[in-house]
A and B are shown apart, each in its own frame.
Chain A
């Protein structure tokens, strides 16, 4: 018997040792792995450059899975800067010349575009209208989204540096659509004889060097003949690090020189580290809640307004987003040329919210803290994806805000694939979405796709023929000032109706070592655009 009791104690001891052992092993493992990774990378880059200038080590947000601009333009055009689009955009989202110098609408459905001369591809061939036609035809043929953005029908080579694009219907924002990174220009030799995309041959400041399928590491080096002038950055080694904590560790341990979107609560700590700087910018992305208009309760404007009034956006930005972002003001972000400065931030007023609910017929009759209508408690399904780090805690906080005005909010957080399924099945009441608002730099982009009856991102199935007619009218307005004014009026009405519930503007954090200087942020890009004129010292 004594033997057995000793055995019990022995088992406990063993268990403790096991747990302690696992914890210690876990810690040291990460340490050594990180160490080896750094070593490996240093040796490869040393071998590659044989003591020349060091490339920038960039910790990308997503795993690098493809680099064909037709569908991975965000990576190859914005992050790797190997390819370029015809048209660029300024810091306030106004279009500027890029590979195209001028563009002109010659009839409701045709556009004449003049191309920049003296631009050459990375293989030395000059860029002419025929490569541009090849690239646009290909982008529109292989990707439905590209086709929709451009309303692309065909294009015609007029001369070596002029091309005419015909749209399937009048599209006043074709130039804006050409800014989209998927519409980047490539040389036909990017494809092999069988027509498969193998090597990205673009015109950008960086030249494709290698892609390792095993590690998904993508390397580029300086283009010495870039039309934009001398390129500062010698090259980049790019690896996807999808976990935000891992990205923070990578910059802290010196595994990367430059990374994006570190955990919001660590911004301050990382910034305080010697040799590391973290900057926060606003990107054209907003956190919002899509409202399911097939649910009778949510068809009542007062209920939607009550939900909005229940949410303290200032506290969410301060304490959930750690000031990486800003409370929503209208549908757009302040840096956009068409931002309406008379828009007010949405107020927090739980008392008014309760009053609105009562007015709509929801009252707490049985004293359980949840309001009822026709004897049934008011419950709301709040569905959120978990991938963007701000979403899960924000959803939990909003669930609690709704409980405080008497709505029984059931928060469900899931992988984005699952939440997309729920959205398609219309199986939600409110859906948290971090949506890009400038895939096309024009105010009409989100209004047309989110709120028009047949808009392809109209997830809540909102339908209002009067609004549709106003959107159509605004879309066909050519004069920019008039166009912006029309869309701002629509924006104000949507804001008042709470057709979707805006929460906060999305902030992006850029963490880089102090040896990286001169980075210029491009607010029109998806999360970020790399800057070829950064310098890397030491």
Chain B
């Protein structure tokens, strides 16, 4: 959430400072009213910290097999049990968080950056640029996202970066479409017109006036999308298309563990709960953020 804001160049700062008082005040007030959102933020912090520090926290190497201790239940040596090759499920789940979060943040980051740029340019320049870019967006939106990712992964093979590429390519168009609509609604506002007559270059008009005033709904979409991307990653890995077996990943753990579901259900339950919990967390955060940022709440409800 703070990531995309930092991409805005320093020229924008004076304006931000003007409203900083009231804006940050409103933020603090809104967050204080939402204990659920606060807990969510703390949990997110813990999750990210755990994922980053996985090598320090995890009691075992996630890849080390110990065939003789396969399919064990929880014990003091293995708090969440072991998988079908005797690997520690707690360590694997922890490293899995690293994989999932890395993919989710990278995918949403790329899709967000590309989508907003394209959407903003299409709306601002209009005419043939808009036609070209919008038809391109339509083309991508016409494919069902997951099928597109499936086909692409089948073509380029498994791997973390390939996964990011496949998911980002299927997602960016949504951001572009939304951004285009938002920019269209502000681009004829008086302050934009006066900036233009004042001779401000197009690039600066976009960066100073259009992006800051159009970005919020796209930002909310991005937050909500993180959970969606984690699910998609897990789904593709479950099908054996996403992440090679050497890297612990929740969907792949469920996919391989489902053969043992009756004899050793922990193989599936542990990564399953991890996915459910993390996706739920991001959905709650996204929802909370939407409520805080969306000033037109009442109009949104009927949807």
Contacts and interface: CB of A to CB of B under 8 A. Distances in A.
B297 interface: yes
B246 A410 contact: yes
Contacts of A485: none
Interface in A416-434: 418
A414 B240 contact: yes
Contact of B259 (A4, A265, A412, A418): A265
Contacts of B158: 412, 414
Interface residues of B, number: 37
B244 A412 contact: yes
A1 B33 contact: yes
A412 B70 CA distance: 22
Interface in A381-418: 386, 389, 392-393, 395-397, 399-400, 403, 409-415, 418
A5 B245 CA distance: 41
B259 A397 contact: no
A454 interface: no
Interface in B131-158: 154, 157-158
A410 B158 CA distance: 12
B95 interface: no
A4 B291 contact: yes
A230 B287 CA distance: 73
A312 B68 CA distance: 12
Contacts of A316: 67
A409 B246 CA distance: 9
Interface stretch (A9-17, A79-87, A218-226): A9-17
Interface stretch (B4-12, B19-27, B213-221, B276-284): B276-284
A8 interface: yes
A399 B245 contact: yes
A415 B157 CA distance: 12
A265 B260 contact: yes
B270 to A, nearest CB: 16
Residue in B65, B157, B244 whose Cβ sees the most chain A Cβ within 10 Å:
B65
A392 B34 CA distance: 47
B265 interface: no
B280 A15 contact: yes
B240 to A, nearest CB: 6
B65 A396 contact: yes
A403 B256 CA distance: 20
Nearest to A16: B280
Contacts of A263: 259-260
Contact of B244 (A8, A389, A411): A411
Contacts of B63: 400, 403
Contact of A399 (B36, B70, B246): B246
A266 B65 CA distance: 21
A266 B263 CA distance: 7
B67 A397 contact: yes
Given A8-B34, A392-B245, A415-B240, A315 B68 contact: yes
A410 B280 CA distance: 33
Interface string A266-280: 100100000000000
B276 to A, nearest CB: 7
A9 B33 contact: no
Contacts of B258: 245
Interface string B237-270: 0001000111000000000101111111000000
Given A319-B68, A403-B63, A410-B246, A245 B259 contact: yes
A209 interface: no
A32 B263 CA distance: 23
A411 B246 contact: yes
A418 B86 CA distance: 29
Interface string B15-56: 000000000000000000110110000000000000000000
B64 interface: yes
A266 B261 CA distance: 10
A397 B85 contact: yes
Given A12-B284, A319-B86, A400-B63, 6 more contacts: A266-B262, A312-B67, A315-B67, A320-B85, A410-B246, A414-B240
Interface of B: 33-34, 36-37, 63-65, 67-68, 70-71, 84-86, 154, 157-158, 240, 244-246, 256, 258-264, 276, 280, 283-284, 287-288, 291, 297
Interface of A: 1, 4-5, 7-9, 11-12, 15, 19, 244-245, 263, 265-266, 269, 312, 315-316, 318-320, 386, 389, 392-393, 395-397, 399-400, 403, 409-415, 418
The 7 closest A-B pairs by CB, nearest first: A319-B67, A400-B65, A315-B67, A411-B245, A265-B263, A4-B291, A396-B245
28 contacts: A1-B33, A5-B34, A7-B291, A8-B34, A8-B37, A8-B287, A8-B291, A9-B36, A12-B280, A15-B283, A245-B259, A265-B71, A265-B260, A266-B263, A312-B67, A315-B67, A315-B68, A319-B68, A393-B84, A393-B256, A396-B85, A397-B67, A397-B85, A399-B245, A410-B244, A413-B244, A415-B240, A418-B154
